[in-house]
Structure 1
Amino acid sequence: MTRIIPASALAAALLAGGLAATPARAQYADGGIKIGVLTDMSGGYSDLAGKGSVTAAQLAIEDFGKTVGGRKVELIVADHQNKADIASTIARRWFDTEGVDAIFNTNSSVAGLAVREVARAKGKVDVNSGAGSMALTNAACSPTGAHWSWDTHALAAGTAAALADDPKNTWFFITADYTFGHDLEAQVTRVVKAKGGTVLGSVKHPFPNADFSSYLIQAQASGARIIGMANAGADTINTIKQAAEFGIAEGGQSLGGLNIFLTDVNSVGLKAAQGMILTTGFYWDLDDRTRALAQRFGARMGGRMPTMVQAGDYSAVLHYLKAAEAAGTDDGLAVMAKMRELPIEDAFARNAKLRPDGRMVHDMYLARVKTPAESKGPWDFYTILKTIPGDEAFQPLAQSTCKLVTNP
């Protein structure tokens, strides 16, 4: 049976660990709420997050009325350059000297895990909607931290499960050589083996990387039927483009898009991406609510539609503001308690809840990339194949290794 550590015990644990749990105050420090979007503004993940994540946060602030408890909401932005040291330095400065109450996005697991440790030590909120590492809700879980949009378990539960349905399938991975890539490969391997498939090998590449020729040659030589791309952003785009040059499909092998974003498909084009199976937590053309958000987003982003990460940023910021107003304070523990208590239902989140380990559980979607003939226009890229209920997509709480939850 899963047991959630009571709030009193949690507070005692925080004190024992050297973090004083600040008493809830019926006020907001510095005259209002200040939130920071810490993201990749210029690197390999800037397309799927970056400026679009900032725009999504701005939309959420506007939708909430730009104030909390009658006090203004301020937004600041910084580029972590996908580096842990830069991310932690910015987070520390924001919390210590600039009055930031909460940090959002932090795409890239190396940056996200670094920020998580700073936020935990300061008793501040961090809501990660960009990184995929399972560590964020396992070993690195925090009483003031949340993991919002997706993770590697959800990708494996959707894409890998669908691609591995044939037990005769064999796999070879091209994997980004850092926490996220290793985590994604491990999660997909777990699903493949459970379904009777075989992993023939893997090769690790640096992040970021431009030339995938040697890795694709190794993947071809393995004879694996599926080449799993355990990477993201520009690395995934480069892998797909160069795989076409190597004639991967013509040779009878398939690319497994384990972490495909809408912007990736836009970059490589439907001709190269058509038929790929992927898992996403958001698609702009899903229903009236997603289309309404996407139209407003697109009006500010030159017609671009939001990715899962960017839509998740909108949801996370909006829910944080609701919780901060309901709590009557910007105290990290008090606000996060309200975030877990309040219902989550918006343009991004369906059937959602925030668990004690910080995992925001919501429905995910298995999708197929359309052919050029099927697409009716710009950004009309996906056919939704099925809805994956959140409790099936994300790691069961009973399997969590988060110290805020105990399992016998």
Structure 2
Amino acid sequence: MRTSILTAFGLLALSSTAFSQEFSDNVIKIGILNDQSGVYADFGGKGSVAAAELAIEDFKKDGGIEGVEIQLINADHQNKPDIASNIAREWYDTQQVDAIMELTTSSVGLAVQALSNEKKKITINTGAATSELTGKQCTPYGFHWAYDTHALAVGTGGALVKDGGDSWYFLTADYAFGYSLEEQTSTVVKANGGQVVGAVKHPLATTDYSSFLLQAQSSGAKVIGLANAGVDTQNSIKQAAEFGIVAGGQRLAALLFTLADVHGVGLDVAQGLTLTESFYWDRDDESRAFGERYAAKFNGRMPNMVHAGTYSAVLQYLKAAKEAGTDESDAVAAKLKEMPVEDVFARGGSVGKNGRMISDVYLLEVKKPDESTKEWDYYKVLATIPGAEAYAKPEESGCPLVTQ
């Protein structure tokens, strides 16, 4: 009897040890790393932290993971890959962070994804745009949610060419994101019978766009493609209005422009712009309910696709960890690629072998001031673009994981 009691006690102890090993320290720790003070602070920033908090709240309401605490930390990477990599390394090495998400700025996203691959840690990019994240620079632990340059090019670029905008000149942010967006939009323009007559690159966070806009204006292009984002795009649009570019007959294509940016420049300036987002809070009853919850949590502001995408990414990561029964990265990554994505952001979403999450995106037009009935009522939905059309097929992405 004594032996049996000891054996039973030993098995119980082993069982408890095994459980704690499944979830390291019985804690899942997620880091939101993004721009919180620069040109992309409204694009993602603290708003993405609020979205992540909502996802954790909802996961816990649905039962959570018994005995496992979920922690969230965040930091400002200042749009600098070296700073971002140093923060990520410190999080992994000393704070036992399991996954890092958001990662606005493509150069940052690529750098942190590469480091995370070395550390065998999961990243889910919701703020970075370059499709290289799930293309040639894909990793087994790297995932891309919310949008990418391919979807933006197909949505906004394709729509404007079909609407008669068959000659383009680009104002391009001088780093990985801008290059990728210009290249992919150019491909879509040419595939639809249009032409690219020129391009000019500008530094990140510049304040004077006059010389760039004058070059674009003198090109005679029907469409000036803004391959930039955040405050850069806002300032480009404001200064274009001062030069009378749209009044003179040319069109502006805001290739990465979100609800936060429309709010920043106002409907008077943004009206009539065609753009692409993968989420709109006023889409249906479910998205409106989410928008109201988000606004109550975050200074009365409605979420854009980066915020809602971060909500979805955090929620899906936690669901995958629960399904896997562990926070071990290989097991969670396998579940992320296996499980469907079904939430307020993604309807019928799925994750490809290259880590790209595929869900529908929306072609939108900014309303005129007299068409808007309330604050944040900014968009008309022109079309829903199926995810399979918006995103590159995994086998065409250039990701080496797909052919292995």
Judge same fold: TM > 0.5, yes or no. yes
Report if aligned partners of 1:25, 1:328 keep a CA contact under 8 Å in 2.
no
Q: Please point out which of 29, 46, 49 is paired with 1:51.
A: 46
AA paired with 2:44?
A
Helix, strand or coil: the match of 2:146? coil
* Counterpart for residue 190 of structure 1: 187
1:239-258 correspondence runs (5 A)? 239-258=236-255
What residue is the counterpart of 1:238 in the other structure?
A: 235
Tell me if 1:29 matches 2:24: yes
Q: 1:55 to 1:168 in 2, by over 3 A?
A: closer
Q: Distance between the aligned counterparts of 2:351 and 2:21, measured in 1?
A: 23
Deviation per residue, 1:24-44 (Å, 9 max, x gap): 996111221001000111010
Pick aligned residue for 2:80 from 83, 87, 107: 83
Paired AA for residue 260 in structure 2: T
The 5 Å alignment of 1:234-383 reads 234-383=231-380
1:227 & 1:290 partners in 2: Cα distance?
Answer: 32
1:225 to 2:219 alignment:
no
Counterpart amino acid of residue 314 in structure 1: Y
Q: How much does 1:62 deviate? A: 0.6
Report the secondary structure of 2:369's partner residue: coil
Partner residue of 1:104 out of 101, 108, 115: 101
Contact 1:33 1:68 in 2 (8 A): no
User: Aligned-pair distance for 1:168?
Assistant: 6.5
**Partner residue of 2:122?**
125
Q: Could you tell me how far apart the structure 2 residues matched to 1:133 and 1:250 are? A: 32
Aligned-partner SS, 2:33 = strand
Let me know the Cα RMSD of the aligned residues: 1.5
TM-score of the pair, normalised by structure 1: 0.92
Structure 2 matches for 1:148-167, cutoff 5 A? Answer: 148-166=145-163
Give the aligned residue type for 2:46. K
Per-residue CA distance 1:192-251 (angstroms, 9 max, x = gap):
111111111000000121110110010111111110000000000000000000110121
State which drifts further: 161-170 or 32-41: 161-170
Q: Which moved more, 1:29-38 or 1:67-76?
A: 67-76
Instruction: Say if 1:168 and 1:59 are closer, same or farther in 2 by CA, change over 3 A.
Output: closer
How far apart, in 1, do the equivalents of 2:94 and 2:21 lie?
22
Assess if the C-alpha contact under 8 Å between 1:126 and 1:145 holds in 2: yes
Distance (Å, rounded) in 2 between the aligned partners of 1:183 and 1:313: 22
Instruction: Give 1:283's aligned amino acid.
Output: Y
Structure-2 residue corresponding to 1:8: none
Alignment partners' CA distance in 1, 2:127 and 2:350: 18
Alignment-derived partner of residue 213 in structure 2 = 216
Query: Is contact 1:30-1:99 (8 Å) kept?
Result: no
Q: Considering Cα pairs closer than 8 Å and 6+ residues apart, tell me whether 1 or 2 has the greater RCO.
A: 1
Q: Structure 2: which amino acid aligns with 1:82?
A: N
Q: 1:69-122: per-residue Cα shift (whole Å, max 9, x none)?
A: 421100001111000000111111111110000001001001111110111001
Alpha-carbon distance between aligned partners in 1 of 2:289 and 2:34, rounded to the nearest angstrom: 25
Q: Secondary structure at the match of 2:196?
A: strand
How far has the Cα of 1:188 moved from its partner?
A: 0.6
- Matching residue's letter, 2:154: A
Q: Secondary structure at the match of 2:129?
A: coil
Seen in structure 2, the aligned counterparts of structure 1 residues 194 and 25 have a Cα distance that, compared at 3 Å, is farther
C-alpha deviations, 1:121-155, integer Å up to 9, x for none? 01111000001101100121111110001001001
Counting aligned pairs with the same residue, the percent is 55
Superposition deviation, residue 166 in structure 1: 4.8
Deviation at 1:351, TM superposition (A): 1.9
Shift of 1:170: 1.0
Opposite residue 228 of structure 2, the aligned amino acid is N
Q: SS at 1:193's partner residue?
A: helix
Deviations 1:303-362 (A, max 9, x none): 110010000000000000001111111111110111111121101002200111010000
What displacement does 1:400 show?
1.7
Distance 1:283 1:25 in 2: 40
Counterpart residue identity of residue 328, structure 1: G
Tell me, in whole angstroms, the C-alpha distance in 1 between the residues paired with 2:255 and 2:20.
44
Secondary structure at the residue paired with 1:251?
coil
Asked if the contact 1:25/1:329 (under 8 Å) is kept, the reply is no
Distance 2:175 2:248 in 1: 30
Q: What one-letter code is carried by the residue in structure 1 that aligns with 2:149? A: T
Q: Does the Cα contact within 8 Å between 2:26 and 2:67 map onto a contact in 1?
A: no
**Structure 1 unaligned regions, length at least 5:** 1-23
Residues 1:64 and 2:59 aligned together: yes
| Structure 1 residue 68, shift from structure 2 partner | 2.7
SS at match of 1:65: helix
Normalised TM-score (structure 2): 0.93
Q: Which has the higher helix share?
A: 2
SS at match of 1:229: strand
What CA distance in whole angstroms lies between the structure 1 residues aligned with 2:65 and 2:336?
A: 15
Structure 1 residue aligned with 2:16: none
2 CA distance for matches of 1:201 and 1:228? Answer: 10
- Quote the Cα distance in structure 1 between the aligned partners of 2:304 and 2:383: 18
Structure 2, gaps ≥5 residues long: 1-18
